[in-house]
Amino acid sequence: MADDNGIGTPIDRRSLLMLMAATAAGAAFPGIGGEAAAAEPAIAVENEKYRRFYDGVSGYYMKDPGWVAETTARLTWPKAGEVVPEIGVLVQSNEPSRIDAFRKWSADAVQLGLKYNVQQVSEARWLDLIQAHRHGDIEVHPAILRPERVDPAEWLVSRAYGPDRRNYGEWVNEQYDALIDAQTKESDPAKRLEIVRAAQKVLAEDLYITQFGWGPSIIEAYNAEAWDGVTQTRGFGIASFNGFHSFLKMQPKTARKSVKVGMTALLETTNLMAAGNNMRSIGRMIYDRLAYFDENLNIVPWAAESWSRLDDRTWDIKLRPGMKFHDGKPVTVKDLKFTFDFMQKWERGIFWTANRFLDSTEIVDEANGVLRARFKQPYGQFESYFMQLNVILPQHIWQNIMQEQGVGDNPRQLRIDRPIGSGPFRFGRHRKDTELQLIASKDHFSKPSVDEIWVVVIPTLDGLLGRLESQEIDFIESSDTTLRPSQAKQAEKSRHIKLVTTPDVNWLHGVCRVSCLPWRDFEFRRAWHHSIDRDFLVNVAWEGAGRIPKSNTFLVDGNPWNNPDLPPLPEFDLKKAREILKAAGYSWRADGRLVYPAPTDAAFRERVTRVSKPGYTWGGLKMLG
Amino acid sequence: MTGFRRYVVRRLLLLAFVVWCILSIMFVLFQLLPGDPTAIFVDDNFSPEMIDRQKQLWGLNDPLWVQYLRYVGNMLTFDFGNSFFQIEPVAHIMADKVQNTCLMIVPALIVSVVLGTLIGAVAGWRRGSAFEQATVATSLFLHSVPSFFVGILALMIFAYQLRWLPSGGMVGLGGPEGLWEMIASRDYWVHLLLPGLVLVSREITGPILLLRSSMLEVKGSDFLDILRAKGLSEHRIITHATRNALLPLVTYVAVMTGLLFQGQVLLEIIFAWPGIGRELVQALNDLDYPVAQAALYVMALVTLLLNLVADLLYGVIDPRVTYD
């Protein structure tokens, strides 16, 4: 790791650019920031165990002069008569519905004396700024379901857990973090559900996130003259390679047994170890996972016929008998053992998170294909995460591959031109960025009724719709692409096209920068929540394709881990918001801007110091002075 | 050293300087580009140590000047490194994409130049005729309409509505794969028809308008009177006049080819043609710096080289041009 003090070692690019931005070089490159170099930061945390998160990464947070300057200003007690600063919001410029929604919410917020500064930025810039926690006051984030997100921890941890760098609002609620730690270690699914529900309750009560809308809905169109028997999978739809039940069960209505699916992009790589979204989803059809999920997201056995829990850190996994790799070789428990050994020996790419708690594996019954997996600590994510993500690699192909290809210790660099797995489809013809043939494996235990899938690249949604209308494709792959109601209505004019809307568990939420003023004040947060007109987002910006959220949770209604007893969301009521602010000591300047309570207001100081709702403990950033 | 050789050396030195400038500007631009590439290609859950290891692997932790020198050296030797995401040498990716782009633009270019020359010559020769007026009006119209608009329109009419032509791709599903196999197949030519026609509809206008103007100048030349006096047919006289009017077209075609090479991003997207323009856009979106850098560099280099060729050719084919 780079030397954090920056002395005696080369400075990395990011730090150099930030240094330039903070010094005279900023004049030469005004585009890369103009923050003044911060003085020695005096920023501290309430609970020292969280300090490493803020000062442990070179170029980020306490080691980023820009972050320090911005944060210092917001951790300084306001002077008498000081107005609440502009609320900075960063929205990706390719998301018009979010921009429209914030236009409305900004206009509404004027009645509270708040002024928004909504900036539109590119996807890359947005990602860079949120990861540096330099996105302003509200981080706006969508959630689209992926198989690994069927497990509740993916969202509960990444978006709200104190020590996680993706906790963009820097919320550190010690009770919440304790529950998250507990659910990770709770191996009894029923008990884990209780803990997960309790964590959701803390999250909702402390008003950290706000759910703007649940959705957008998964609206898909397909060629119903050619295909029948499509299967709707909750959260995925009918034509997602992540939830591929349709492609196993659909029946041709004509003599053609080859289904054509359009996608905006194809495989960036065919190496599963270095896979991005598309290879991960298509890879699920080529490499069997140990477990899968059914149409209602319940975990079901897949390549593993069954599993049994021996204690809270040990499981026996029984492999399904009779499976074959696509080259005809049998799948054995030795292959499974080899896969885990491989993942543990080498840097593990996307499988790192799935296996980081794995301690060891051993074959306990070779004849019956039973492998024992032992974890380093009590483990709660066995079924919904570990079994969902892990694959079976053919040992006869992979055992010497690292040495043969000379990629050192980095399997991400492997060239796997023709992936061989044991999944329901085998890798056929592939022309990069153009087409991919997936041939049905007819001896698979869940054999597809189609003969093959041709995946075709059409880079735009308009192009996909045009090809669907002209019957050049039958489905639009829906991992990343769903239709707006107006587009669906247009598509429906073609006689052969049928529309399907699948219940989703998606959401769009905002995370306020709760570590800083004015968000540290629970009463301010409460008032602000009343200023969000969610109906506008769902019924105008999303054209009605979504749901008005019932509560502030990541695990929304329809998700098997949802807590149905959460406090309801504060309704849109600007009058009530003003009353809350007034009661909390806020006032308004002559020009209507909201003014902080007086510096001598003990209740305000107490709320800002405490940050969390009474009853919870704040462990994050401290006010200065 | 003769004047021509001196000129060639001077032009080559200038080319080298411009290439160095382009490389340096690109380096600075990519440094200023928003987004930390490691943020894209590492998993969200990676620890800082793992992220740092990835940075080391890609040389992103080296001092800036080391990165710069390594970058210039590599670019000059066409060693573009490996793509962040595609796990293959960028040079392979570039070769593939350049070939695909050429498969779209070269036929369109040939048709545009040949047909444009003929139409422009006739229009210039028959000045004031209805043919000339119609040609000029149509050319100006086609020149003003953005090609992506014509592309979408053509797609909607000929592919989606009438279904006469395929809507995209270089060949149909499961079509021929190798370069020569593809060129020899009917499938490729059918797929080329729509994007090719859209390209021709715009690119043909340059040669037409240029030849027409050039022809008007040549038309009043004394040598044509001599040819007439010799009793040559109208057809032969037009041929002679056209050959003389062709000179400005040489420079134009070179420049046009360079621009054509780098300007087909939208058409490649509309017609799902996996060329270098689409690759560049994808690489910029993904922050795949090696691919984006290589794509920009290749595009710039092609334009510069074609300009050089035009400058040199001009002197070779026009004996009136001297270098002393």
B162 and B20 in a single domain? The answer is no
Residues 98-127 of A with CB under 8 A from B: 121-125, 127
- Whether B52 has its CB under 8 Å from any CB of chain A: the answer is yes
Residue B25 CA, distance from chain mean position:
21
| A101-157 residue pLDDT tens | 999 999 999 999 999 999 998 887 888 888 889 999 999 999 888 888 889 998 898
Measured between alpha carbons, how far is residue A445 from residues A286, A288, A422 in Å? 13, 11, 10
Domain coverage including residue B14: 3-76
B181 and B54 in a single domain? The answer is no
Which chain A residues are Cβ-neighbours of B66 within 8 angstroms? 10
Q: Is the predicted ipTM greater than 0.95, yes or no?
A: no
Which chain B residues are Cβ-neighbours of A410 within 8 angstroms? 57
B147 and B100 in a single domain? The answer is yes
| B274/A29 CB distance under 8 A | no
Q: B294 - beta bridge partners?
A: none
The pLDDT assigned to A14 comes to 45
Residue B44 pLDDT grade (very low, low, confident, very high; cuts 50, 70, 90)? low
Last residue of a domain, one of B76, B111, B139: B76
Q: List Cβ neighbours of B5 (8 Å cut-off, separation of 6 or more).
A: none
Is the pLDDT at A22 greater than 50? The verdict is no
The pLDDT assigned to A445 comes to 96
Please report whether residue B323 resides in a domain: no
The pLDDT assigned to B289 comes to 81
All CATH 3.40.190.10 domain ranges in chain A, comma separated: 220-272+423-501
Last residue of a domain, one of B76, B100, B132: B76
| A151-206 residue pLDDT tens | 999 889 888 999 888 899 999 999 999 999 999 999 998 999 999 999 999 999 99
CATH class of segment(s) A44-56+83-215+507-585+602-610: alpha beta
B40 and B123 in a single domain? The answer is no
Q: What percent of chain A has pLDDT over 90?
A: 73
Residue from the list A2, A10, A268 with its beta carbon closest to the beta carbon of B52: A2
The pLDDT assigned to A619 comes to 96
Helix axes B90-125, B186-203, angle to 10 degrees: 60
Query: Across residues B11-25, what is the average pLDDT?
Result: 92
| E strand or H helix at A251 | strand A251-252
Q: What percent of chain A has pLDDT over 70?
A: 93
Which chain A residues are Cβ-neighbours of B173 within 8 angstroms? 260, 435, 437, 454, 456
Is the pLDDT at A27 greater than 50? The verdict is no
One-character DSSP codes across A401-442: HHHHHT-TT-GGG---SS----SSEEEEEEETTTEEEEEE-T
Q: A218 - beta bridge partners?
A: A502
B50 and B126 in a single domain? The answer is no
Report the range of poorest mean pLDDT among A261-275, A557-571, A599-613: A261-275
**How many structural domains comprise chain B?**
2
Last residue of a domain, one of B52, B76, B100: B76
The pLDDT assigned to A256 comes to 92
Query: Across residues B85-108, what is the average pLDDT?
Result: 90
Is the pLDDT at A28 greater than 60? The verdict is no
- Rounded to the nearest integer, the mean pLDDT of chain B is 85
B71 and B154 in a single domain? The answer is no
B46 and B114 in a single domain? The answer is no
Query: Across residues B196-208, what is the average pLDDT?
Result: 92
Architecture field, domain A291-402: Alpha-Beta Complex (3.90)
The pLDDT assigned to B254 comes to 81
B52 and B153 in a single domain? The answer is no
Please report whether residue B280 resides in a domain: yes
For chain A, state the CA radius of gyration: 26
- Euclidean distance between CA atoms B314 and B296, whole angstroms: 27
- Euclidean distance between CA atoms A577 and A484, whole angstroms: 33
Residues 455-514 of A with CB under 8 A from B: 456-460, 463, 466-467, 469-470, 472
Query: Across residues A363-383, what is the average pLDDT?
Result: 95
Please report whether residue B86 resides in a domain: no
B134 and B269 in a single domain? The answer is yes
B52 and B105 in a single domain? The answer is no
| CA distance, residue B251 to nearest chain A CA (Å) | 35
Which chain A residues are Cβ-neighbours of B49 within 8 angstroms? 1
Its pTM stands at 0.84
For chain B, state the CA radius of gyration: 24
**A228 vs A146, residue with greater confidence:** A228
CATH of domain A220-272+423-501: 3.40.190.10
A301 preceded by cis ω (within 30°)?
Answer: no
Query: Of all residues in chain B, what percent are helix, strand and coil, respectively (each to 5)?
Result: 75, 0, 25
Residue A17 pLDDT grade (very low, low, confident, very high; cuts 50, 70, 90)? very low
| A32/B32 CB distance under 8 A | yes
Provide the CATH number for the domain around residue B206: 1.10.3720.10
Measured between alpha carbons, how far is residue B145 from residues B158, B256, B258 in Å? 18, 17, 20
B245 and B127 in a single domain? The answer is yes
The pLDDT assigned to A145 comes to 87
Of these ranges, A544-548, B65-69, B178-182, B265-269, the one predicted with the greatest mean pLDDT is A544-548
Nearest chain A alpha carbon to B63: A10
B160 and B137 in a single domain? The answer is yes
The pLDDT assigned to A424 comes to 97
